[in-house]
Amino acid sequence: MNIALWVIQGLAAAGFIYSGWLKAVQYDKAKASWGWVSDVPQAFVVWIGIAELLGAIGLILPQATHIAPVWTPIAATGLAAIVLLGALYHVRRKEYREIGVNVVFLVLAAVVAVGRF
């Protein structure tokens, strides 16, 4: 079970690093890739990106270093909340095609949260 959780943590962290990097550092590229970015203030998009980057670090680092490993499921829970809110935003905007990615990352984060608590 531990190996499966590490694989899931790695996949989730990679996805959140990619998404967070685009939002926090490459705003123009995110704006070109995702339509919703144009309708949200830039500062909020960057804030979401920073939260995703910090969450991705929290998925790996505490558990890997055995320093405060309780932060790993807390980070996973926070990321699950971000993704859930994103999915609800897409539902509100009737962007149903976008929700699939949210569901995948919600499941990954939830599995890590439950598995590591």
DSSP class of residue 117 equals: -
For the record, the structure tokens of 96 come out as 């149903």
Question: Which letter does DSSP use for residue 52 in this model?
Answer: H
DSSP 98: G
pLDDT, one tens digit per residue, over 2-42 is: 999 999 999 999 999 999 999 999 999 999 999 899 999 99
Question: pLDDT value at position 7?
Answer: 97
Quickly count: other Cβ atoms within 10 Å of residue 112's Cβ. Answer: 26
Q: Taking the model in full, what pTM does it have?
A: 0.93
How far is it, in rounded angstroms, from Cα 79 to Cα 10?
14
Cβ–Cβ under 8 Å, residues 79 and 12: yes
